[in-house]
Structure 1
Amino acid sequence: MVTGVNGFVGSNVALQLLKAGYKVRGTVRGKKIDNFKNNISDSFPSLEVVKVDDVSTSDLIDVLKGVDAIVHVAAPLPFGGASPKENLIIAVEGYLNVLRQAVSNGINKVVITGSWASTLDPALKQAFEGHVSTEKDWGNVTEEEFLVNSQNPMWAYLAAKTLAERAVWKFAEEEPSLDLSITLPPFIFGPFAAGFPAPLSHSTLSSNQHIYTLLKGSIPPPLPPLFCDVRDVARAHVRALNVPKATNHVEDKRFLVSGGFLTWKDAVEYLHQQRPELRARLPVVDMDTFPPFPGTPTSIDTTRAKEVLGVMICLF
């Protein structure tokens, strides 16, 4: 089963699984299921689509019948709740609800989409200090700090990803039958899977929203310039399904994936060259528009993903 198959990560994971010969059951949230069923290509007879309104609270017993493994892509973001406490519960339960119901239904193989954000301090202190991120790194944050400081959306996102992933590995340590892997990409860019329906709104574009911002002539936030092609992220998930269960430390199946650096200046210059008809819509390329970084950006060590998953990065 692939959660959030209507998203651009979920659609690419589902497509990779279908190409590999798997039968896929994909979850779609709310009214999006009608758009999905009405527009899905007839070329995917092995894809079944079911409705799940909220992975953090929904009863999944019927959805999980006959499922052998779960690729959980659709973890909720820590926004939209009535309070910081509720936002954190939503983010954590978006993972734990799926894991609890998987184990109770005898499903032990689970791959989760995490985030490179969980390897960094939420204040991004290491982001421009030449730090090299590895799977051994963790953000340093407590629940109490989240409840006090979560007014800053970027800080809240990083902090919630760290707290939620910590909760996931704690659950895995207490459930020895669970065979868990987590992929940790930075900002993900790329296409929706061919043959899958286009998004209904810009809100479903995820990291691609930043590229859309450039096309409106604006500059996205000055974030660490790291990216991964969504197709590499999808391949990492599929490969992780076949990695043997960790025998020493459960966190040994934590995988960082990355395609390297991509600055907003790089993106605009590329679009100027490849899509000259868009030049009038794009920001002007000069030092005032794209000031230099305050230091050396963080990089990501993808050695484990390459050695264990065999994921070869394709830059685009």
Structure 2
Amino acid sequence: MAQTVLITGATGFIATYVIKLLLEQDYIVIGTVRTMEKGDNFVKNFQNDNFSYVIVPDLTDSKQHFEQILQSHPEIEIVLHTASPVFPRYYKDAEQDLILPAINGTKNLLESVTKYGLNVKRLVYTSSDSAIHSVNREGQNLVENEDSWNDVEWVRGNSKDIDAVTGYDVSKTYTEREVWEYSSKNPNVKVSVINPAYVFGPQLFDETVHELNYSSDLLGSLVTNGNGDDYKRLKGGFIDVRDVAKAHLFAFQRDNTINKRLFLNETTFTEQTLLDIVNAKFPSLHDKVPKGVPGSDKETLRESFTVFDNTKTKEILDFEFISLEQGVFDTIDQIIKVKGI
């Protein structure tokens, strides 16, 4: 008999790919969405009777919604919690727009599972490498792995002093700690956590290219902002969205993922790495994409970047990650085709 999966934040970049894989493997999927319009559009795109949606308009005020879902669907055995605010879109106040919705929405879900999720056996939380990596200890020869935690601190009520990046770090770090606290008190529900780096890759549906997720928008801006120096200087780790989705299914399908953090990172990069790939792969964009200083990323990464060691995760998952070159190519190729660049 097919198992039923509840996935929060169903219209998110990662969640769409997770749902695709779930449906391909004949799971029954119930996704939470913010509006009926988004839900109906998803039903149309997936065209699969095993997918349905319920409306949860706001994470902060979501307890009664989650309780109703679990009461109405006692057959739910797996919960995938991907819903969480992402900076900087709609960001005004770090505490109100990022931190509290993430923490309170997760608490609401976990309390509802405890009270009404009588058949829930596995729970997967989508965290971030922001809960692992700390800017306070960046530097050459430093190593961060699945056991590392961001040491960011949050003093409630000081949101005016918190920038968007720090607010996101706080939201992911403190929320993930809530999940592990829940796990320690509810051993009957087996918990796994996904910690992805910057997530690139094509959108599952072309129509959503016009509303890119934060990571893909950073990449897309390289080809849409014109040939100049107006692009974001950044560095970080990369993982492809298709690998993130695959890891979500492995997280609840396998026993070796129980009580594990799956640190998803294929390689590290700077904005120059991305520029070099785009310029090499898309000669037709040479008059639209900045050149920067080709090859200078290698020295930057060697001198200043913390080493990400996710050996344990790779051993657990035992599949090869999609390369940065392929992820960038597929992302940009779709943007060019859809936007007619």
TM-score range, shorter chain: 0.7 to 0.9
In the alignment, which residue of structure 2 is the partner of 1:254? 261
Between the aligned partners of 1:33 and 1:225, the Cα distance in structure 2 is 33
In the alignment, which residue of structure 1 is the partner of 2:200? 189
Between the aligned partners of 2:87 and 2:230, the Cα distance in structure 1 is 24
Q: In structure 2, what residue type is equivalent to 1:76?
A: P
- 1:218-254 Cα shifts (integer Å, max 9, x gaps): 55543333110011111111001023388xxx8x411
Between the aligned partners of 1:159 and 1:153, the Cα distance in structure 2 is 10
1:136 and 1:149, CA in 2 relative to 1: closer, same or farther beyond 3 A?
A: farther
Between the aligned partners of 2:103 and 2:160, the Cα distance in structure 1 is 17
1:232 and 1:103, CA in 2 relative to 1: closer, same or farther beyond 3 A?
A: same
In the alignment, which residue of structure 2 is the partner of 1:139? 150
Unaligned runs of 5+ in 2: 1-5, 327-341
Aligned length, in residue pairs: 305
Instruction: State the SS of the aligned residue for 1:55.
Output: coil
Residue 212 of structure 1: CA displacement?
A: 1.8
Residue 172 of structure 1: CA displacement?
A: 2.0
- Given the alignment, which residue of 38, 41, 45 partners 1:35? 41
Between the aligned partners of 2:41 and 2:25, the Cα distance in structure 1 is 26
Q: Is contact 2:9–2:15 with CA below 8 Å preserved after alignment?
A: yes
More helix, by proportion: 2
Instruction: State the SS of the aligned residue for 1:225.
Output: strand
Between the aligned partners of 1:70 and 1:219, the Cα distance in structure 2 is 41
Instruction: State the SS of the aligned residue for 1:192.
Output: coil
In the alignment, which residue of structure 1 is the partner of 2:20? 15
The root-mean-square deviation of aligned C-alpha atoms, in Å, is 2.9
- Structure 1 stretch displaced more, 48-57 or 77-86: 77-86
- Given the alignment, which residue of 24, 27, 33 partners 2:29? 24
Tell me, yes or no, if structure 1 residue 110 matches structure 2 residue 123. yes
Residue 302 of structure 1: CA displacement?
A: 1.9
Unaligned runs of 5+ in 1: none
Residue 293 of structure 1: CA displacement?
A: 2.9
Greater RCO (CA < 8 Å, at least 6 residues apart):
1
- 1:20-39 Cα shifts (integer Å, max 9, x gaps): 222222222224224333x4
Residue 200 of structure 1: CA displacement?
A: 7.6
- Given the alignment, which residue of 293, 297, 300 partners 2:305? 297
* Match runs of 1:113-132 below 5 Å: 113-121=126-134, 124-132=135-143
Q: Is contact 1:103–1:178 with CA below 8 Å preserved after alignment?
A: no
Q: Is contact 1:56–1:96 with CA below 8 Å preserved after alignment?
A: no
Between the aligned partners of 1:117 and 1:243, the Cα distance in structure 2 is 25
Instruction: State the SS of the aligned residue for 1:5.
Output: coil
- 1:85-140 Cα shifts (integer Å, max 9, x gaps): 4343222113222222122222241101100111123xx13333332221111111
Instruction: State the SS of the aligned residue for 1:75.
Output: coil
Instruction: Tell me the TM-score normalised to structure 2 length.
Output: 0.79
